[in-house]
Amino acid sequence: MTGNIIQLDKNGNLKHFLSTEGLSQSLLQNILDHAESFASVGERHVKKVPLLRGKTIANLFFEPSTRTRTTFELAAKRLSADILNLNISTSATSKGETLGDTLRTLEAMHCDMFVVRHANSGAAHYIATQVSPHISVINAGDGRHAHPTQAMLDMFTIRRHKQDFTKLKVAIVGDILHSRVARSEIHALNTLGVLETRIIAPQTLIPKGVEELGVHVYHDMDAGLDGVDVVMMLRLQKERMQGALLPSEQEYFQRYGLTSERLAIAKPDAIVMHPGPINRGVEIDSSVADSDRSVILQQVSHGIAVRMAVMAMTMGRSPDDIGETE
Amino acid sequence: MTGNIIQLDKNGNLKHFLSTEGLSQSLLQNILDHAESFASVGERHVKKVPLLRGKTIANLFFEPSTRTRTTFELAAKRLSADILNLNISTSATSKGETLGDTLRTLEAMHCDMFVVRHANSGAAHYIATQVSPHISVINAGDGRHAHPTQAMLDMFTIRRHKQDFTKLKVAIVGDILHSRVARSEIHALNTLGVLETRIIAPQTLIPKGVEELGVHVYHDMDAGLDGVDVVMMLRLQKERMQGALLPSEQEYFQRYGLTSERLAIAKPDAIVMHPGPINRGVEIDSSVADSDRSVILQQVSHGIAVRMAVMAMTMGRSPDDIGETE
Amino acid sequence: MTGNIIQLDKNGNLKHFLSTEGLSQSLLQNILDHAESFASVGERHVKKVPLLRGKTIANLFFEPSTRTRTTFELAAKRLSADILNLNISTSATSKGETLGDTLRTLEAMHCDMFVVRHANSGAAHYIATQVSPHISVINAGDGRHAHPTQAMLDMFTIRRHKQDFTKLKVAIVGDILHSRVARSEIHALNTLGVLETRIIAPQTLIPKGVEELGVHVYHDMDAGLDGVDVVMMLRLQKERMQGALLPSEQEYFQRYGLTSERLAIAKPDAIVMHPGPINRGVEIDSSVADSDRSVILQQVSHGIAVRMAVMAMTMGRSPDDIGETE
């Protein structure tokens, strides 16, 4: 999918945010810069700016996710937008209405933005092709394809700790095959120019042809962690355990779980990331998750700032407008 | 039910909005005029007016309906009211509390308005007789009885396209028997003085004595559509198919589905309406639903404006107060 | 549990509100005084004050309760806070996340307050020990332990009707054994210095050692009601009926149901209270519930005011700040 064609308007500004793939380095840096301005809002006495007052944002969750929905809901409220939470699987489509009719109905209610979560890869892209010109679509996770706001909050967290992307070695560890997060992270890391991206996983959890994305594949955790600046752990979906793809939880932890001993193989100041919720003792040991090397909770905070940035940008607003709007 | 006695306060102003039956032509025109003022709010940069700021509106949905609830929620938010969504079937009444006690408890929380959806005909009227004087009740659909905000958004849509009601021939097509929408539409059309209202349906889907409402009954679609200005399609509840009331979906579509060919029998500038969600290929063909004769999505937009109008009016506020309040 | 140590900050101000136990008389009176200021807000034309604008409050309901959640939601909205409703049982913890990780994640989203409802006694206390210093925790009911906002709204209601606590005889009637409400009421009544607190219940519904709380135990309703100023009825959980603890509903009503005849044994101006929802004909007769001696609906109104007071106080705000903030 050629992300930039649909994601940008004719002036090159962000119109939809569907994927980190195909966006320029300057645009990604722009998102991070805007998020930097919003990061302070969450720490203010009054955690609200009136940037999207009077806008209506619909959380269209075709697949339930309380945590992700909550972060978008908070981002919208802190921008002073009105937010509708629509659990689509249990509403319109159960009445036999087509997806297109559901979208057009919400547009007719003067919604300005759809935040879309869907179990099918490509769903957010498809929806972006269907909506009217004034609507922006943000992908909150589609199948195995992309989860771009997660990737950008990860980039934001890395930049806060490591500044220069071009000197970094980054390892992504776990179920790459089923992970939309990993895919979006790899594209973002590439665009931001990291020195080296590694993926570490058993053969069964690595998608075919992944080397074409420029990553280095490791099956051995110790070899893969050697000398990296950033360790990005993935959540292990427990339902994968039931198939033939994976050994037992214990065996997985033994081979790919992140322990203090293993972390010592990375650089002394390497940071540890995880999109959450974490499975303690499955993909990550508590001694690592709770250590000062872990930036997992910072990722959560940054997630609100990054989502505020993307929501504001796709609506044509920037933090510089705050004074003007108030 | 003599709607006007309970729906109006002693000065003749709208207190509750329960039914289009029994309200005067000037009052219905007044609702449409107010809605006209609010229609522009949805298209503004900031889609909010502070008319009901500090008011608390409770969506009391004894029967679930995401779409209708959403339109009332949006209308309330755009009037700056606080809104509570209460799915009554799963809360208080499951604890054995009586309806009266639930209502009095919500009143004691200083709610100002109840938007009521209920599977039983007459439920909203009953509730309006039970509440304290300062509370307004809006009927969001009760059994087979009434759905007055739907009827008024239909009237609003007709007026925008056709201006003078007194010259219009209107056909309502489909399951009249089970339709609260049809019943509310017929009363509104009568009061607004349309030239002729026709209903088109198989004998099994026409209520007994419907001629007393002044409508002309047709069983043949072609005859019924001849020369009409407005075609109001009804949604076919698929569960009706299972009983003896209806033939198969295919046969229904053949006899009563609206196709381009059939629409050609109506006036050349006839508009097509539907309360949604539409069943494509059951009661309406896609070629009609998506044509420029269809005003279905305009109905959705108008629905927000009409609900804002009714909510404001029952609270004693008019669009003219906006300047004063801000 | 020594409530005061964890509930107060180092300056003796309310930080968390977990229990009425261990708080000083002056602090409880302070809550009632603040609630008095907020009580008028619910009756104003614009029922909102900007005291907690920009604050984020999370309703963490591990046990569902529409009514209690609604009162906290309304209190938060009338203080202009943003509120998140999280039904925890169906979200994060179902993904195997630990409670600690869920809490830290919500903190990282810059929540300011957790309103906690949990089936386990001590849950809110435990959470208060786990959160960061800037977070306040309010107990919205934990197991059989405490429901302090309910107790304080009861105290507020008593004070409005009876002024001087030190002259009052109060009877609490019903299932004391399982009631967090009764426990919180007894502590509050003791601290506020009532002359006498009685509990009236069958032996099977009285906790062991309850006399240590300074209450007088009655098994005979007539004897217990003799000369009291306040009758506080408890809701009978119907599921208790199925065990060996209780006779039939009819027999329970005969022995412990509050009828007009029984109420005549209390003082002529005695008031009747109930936390709701009431079971008419089980613990209370309709003739009493609907009489002018009943203050049950006033309790509901006062519940919003008391919750506003506690929310504001734990955030370091008082009604006196309203002018300054606006």
pLDDT of residue C241: 63
Contacts of residue C127, defined as CB under 8 A and 6 or more positions apart, other chains included, come to C60, C99, C103, C114, C116, C137
C109 with A74: Cβ contact below 8 A: yes
Across chain B, what does the average pLDDT equal? 92
Mean pLDDT is lowest, of A308-312, B41-45, B133-137, for B41-45
C-beta separation of B224 from B218 below 8 A: yes
C91 with A278: Cβ contact below 8 A: no
C-beta separation of A181 from A187 below 8 A: no
In total, chain A counts a number of residues equal to 326
To which residue do tokens 């001629």 refer?
Answer: B211
Q: Which chains touch C (3 or more CB pairs under 8 A)?
A: A, B
Residues on chain C touching B134 (C-beta within 8 angstroms): none
The Cα–Cα gap between A151 and B171 comes to 54
Say whether A166 sits in a helix, a strand or coil: helix
Query: The tokens of C323 are what?
Result: 């002018």
Strands C82-87 and C113-118 come out as: unpaired
Contacts of residue A98, defined as CB under 8 A and 6 or more positions apart, other chains included, come to B280
Please indicate, yes or no, whether residues B11 and B121 belong to a single structural domain of this protein.
yes
Say whether C189 sits in a helix, a strand or coil: helix
The Cα–Cα gap between C12 and C24 comes to 10
- Rg from Cα positions in chain C: 20
Mean pLDDT is lowest, of A97-106, B250-259, C90-99, C248-257, for C90-99
Q: Which residues of A touch B (CB under 8 A)?
A: 53-56, 82, 84, 86-87, 90-92, 95-98, 101-102, 104-105, 107-110
Minimal Cβ distance to A108: which of B46, B47, B297:
B297
C110 with A67: Cβ contact below 8 A: no
Tens digit of pLDDT for each residue in B169-193? 999 999 999 999 999 999 999 999 9
Residues on chain C touching B105 (C-beta within 8 angstroms): 67, 276-277, 297, 300
Minimal Cβ distance to C109: which of A278, A279, A300:
A300
C-beta separation of C198 from C211 below 8 A: no
Please indicate, yes or no, whether residues C119 and C38 belong to a single structural domain of this protein.
yes
The Cα–Cα gap between A190 and A170 comes to 11
Contacts of residue B208, defined as CB under 8 A and 6 or more positions apart, other chains included, come to none
Minimal Cβ distance to C277: which of B54, B56, B92:
B92
The Cα–Cα gap between B93 and B90 comes to 7
Q: Which chains touch B (3 or more CB pairs under 8 A)?
A: A, C
A84 with B78: Cβ contact below 8 A: no
Q: Which residues of C touch A (CB under 8 A)?
A: 53-56, 82, 84, 86-87, 90-92, 95-98, 101-102, 104-105, 107-110
Pick left, alpha or beta for residue C59 (phi over 0 → left; psi -120 to 50 → alpha; otherwise beta): beta
Residues on chain A touching B73 (C-beta within 8 angstroms): 84
Tens digit of pLDDT for each residue in A248-287? 888 899 999 999 999 999 999 999 999 999 999 999 999 9
Residues on chain B touching C299 (C-beta within 8 angstroms): 108
Task: Give the CA distances from residue A253 to residues A202, A232, C42, in Å, rounded to whole numbers and listed in that order.
Answer: 12, 15, 56
Residues on chain B touching C71 (C-beta within 8 angstroms): 109
Mean pLDDT is lowest, of A22-36, A45-59, C235-249, for C235-249
Tens digit of pLDDT for each residue in C119-164? 999 999 999 999 999 999 999 999 999 999 999 999 999 999 998 9
A96 with B300: Cβ contact below 8 A: no
- Percent above pLDDT 70 for chain C: 94
Please indicate, yes or no, whether residues C64 and C107 belong to a single structural domain of this protein.
yes
Please indicate, yes or no, whether residues C68 and C98 belong to a single structural domain of this protein.
yes
pLDDT of residue B203: 93
Could you give the strand order of the β-sheet that contains A136-142, starting from the edge strand earlier in sequence? Answer: A82-87, A56-61, A113-118, A136-142
- pLDDT tier, A239 (very low <50, low <70, confident <90, very high otherwise): low
Q: Is the pLDDT of residue B94 over 60?
A: no
Distance of CA A313 to the CA centre of its chain: 16
Q: Which residues of C touch B (CB under 8 A)?
A: 42-48, 66-67, 70-71, 73-74, 77-78, 238, 276-280, 297-301, 303-304
How far does B67 lie from chain C, in Å, by closest CA?
Answer: 21
The Cα–Cα gap between B134 and B310 comes to 16
Count Cα atoms within 13 angstroms, Cβ side, for B62: 21
- Cα angle C8, C14, C19 (rounded to 5 degrees) comes to 80
Minimal Cβ distance to B109: which of C46, C74, C278:
C74
Tens digit of pLDDT for each residue in A150-165? 999 999 999 999 989 9
- Nearest chain C residue to A40 by CA distance is C110
A43 with C110: Cβ contact below 8 A: yes
C-beta separation of B73 from A84 below 8 A: yes
Contacts of residue A22, defined as CB under 8 A and 6 or more positions apart, other chains included, come to A1, A2, A3, A4, A5, A7, A187
Mutate to test the interface with B, among C67, C69, C285, C291 (most CBs of B within 10 A): C67
Please indicate, yes or no, whether residues A67 and A180 belong to a single structural domain of this protein.
no
B47 with A84: Cβ contact below 8 A: no
Tens digit of pLDDT for each residue in C172-228? 999 999 999 999 999 999 999 999 999 999 999 999 999 999 999 999 999 999 999
How far does A24 lie from chain B, in Å, by closest CA?
Answer: 30
pLDDT of residue B325: 40
pLDDT of residue B61: 93
Q: b/e for B126-152, b at 16 or more Cβ within 10 A? A: bbbeebeeebbbbbbbbbbbbbbbbbb
Query: The tokens of C299 are what?
Result: 């309790």
C-beta separation of C307 from C71 below 8 A: yes
**What's the DSSP call for residue C215?**
P
Q: Is the pLDDT of residue C92 over 70?
A: no
Q: What is the mean pLDDT of residues A5-12?
A: 92
Minimal Cβ distance to C300: which of B54, B95, B108:
B108
Q: What is the mean pLDDT of residues C247-259?
A: 90
C66 with B53: Cβ contact below 8 A: no
Please indicate, yes or no, whether residues C50 and C185 belong to a single structural domain of this protein.
no
How far does A1 lie from chain C, in Å, by closest CA?
Answer: 31
Could you give the strand order of the β-sheet that contains B271-273, starting from the edge strand earlier in sequence? Answer: B216-218, B196-200, B169-173, B230-233, B271-273
Mutate to test the interface with C, among B62, B82, B130 (most CBs of C within 10 A): B82
Q: b/e for C155-165, b at 16 or more Cβ within 10 A? A: bbbbbbebeeb
pLDDT of residue C91: 52
pLDDT of residue C193: 98
C44 with B54: Cβ contact below 8 A: yes
Tens digit of pLDDT for each residue in C8-30? 999 999 999 999 999 999 999 99
Other CB atoms within a 10 A radius of the CB of residue B33 amount to 15
Q: What is the mean pLDDT of residues A64-75?
A: 93
Say whether B274 sits in a helix, a strand or coil: coil
Tens digit of pLDDT for each residue in A278-294? 999 999 999 999 999 99
Please indicate, yes or no, whether residues C173 and C234 belong to a single structural domain of this protein.
yes
Mutate to test the interface with B, among C300, C304, C308, C322 (most CBs of B within 10 A): C300
Residues on chain C touching B82 (C-beta within 8 angstroms): 47-48, 74, 77-78
C-beta separation of A290 from A249 below 8 A: no
Across chain A, what does the average pLDDT equal? 92
Please indicate, yes or no, whether residues C20 and C92 belong to a single structural domain of this protein.
yes
Calculate the CA dihedral of residues C6, C8, C14, C15 and round it to 10 degrees.
-50
> Which structural domain, as residue segments, surrounds residue C318?
3-146+303-325
- pLDDT tier, A326 (very low <50, low <70, confident <90, very high otherwise): very low
Residues on chain B touching C51 (C-beta within 8 angstroms): none
Q: Is the pLDDT of residue A60 over 60?
A: yes
- pLDDT tier, C170 (very low <50, low <70, confident <90, very high otherwise): very high
Question: Could you tell me which of A95, A96, A90, A104 has the C-alpha nearest to residue A132?
Answer: A104
Minimal Cβ distance to C54: which of A48, A238, A276:
A48
How far does B257 lie from chain A, in Å, by closest CA?
Answer: 17
- Nearest chain A residue to C51 by CA distance is A46
Please indicate, yes or no, whether residues B166 and B261 belong to a single structural domain of this protein.
yes
- pLDDT tier, C51 (very low <50, low <70, confident <90, very high otherwise): very high
The Cα–Cα gap between B101 and B160 comes to 43
A70 with C90: Cβ contact below 8 A: no
CATH of the domain at B154: 3.40.50.1370
Q: What's the domain count of chain B?
A: 2
Mutate to test the interface with B, among C156, C241, C278, C295 (most CBs of B within 10 A): C278
Question: Could you tell me which of B262, B84, A46, B321 has the C-alpha nearest to residue C72?
Answer: B84
Minimal Cβ distance to A277: which of C56, C86, C92:
C92
pLDDT of residue C326: 37
Q: What is the mean pLDDT of residues A122-127?
A: 95
Please indicate, yes or no, whether residues B138 and B226 belong to a single structural domain of this protein.
no
Query: Count of CB contacts below 8 A, A vs C?
Result: 67
pTM of the model: 0.93
Please indicate, yes or no, whether residues A110 and A159 belong to a single structural domain of this protein.
no
C110 with A304: Cβ contact below 8 A: yes
The Cα–Cα gap between A275 and A23 comes to 22
pLDDT of residue A95: 64
Say whether A80 sits in a helix, a strand or coil: coil
Please indicate, yes or no, whether residues B169 and B258 belong to a single structural domain of this protein.
yes
To which residue do tokens 């614009």 refer?
Answer: C46
- Nearest chain A residue to B297 by CA distance is A108
How far does C33 lie from chain A, in Å, by closest CA?
Answer: 26
pLDDT of residue A2: 47
- Nearest chain B residue to A97 by CA distance is B277
Residues on chain C touching A42 (C-beta within 8 angstroms): 109-110
Minimal Cβ distance to B97: which of C46, C277, C297:
C277
B73 with A84: Cβ contact below 8 A: yes
Q: What is the mean pLDDT of residues A7-13?
A: 94
**Residue C57 phi, psi (nearest 5):** -115, 130
Pick left, alpha or beta for residue A146 (phi over 0 → left; psi -120 to 50 → alpha; otherwise beta): beta
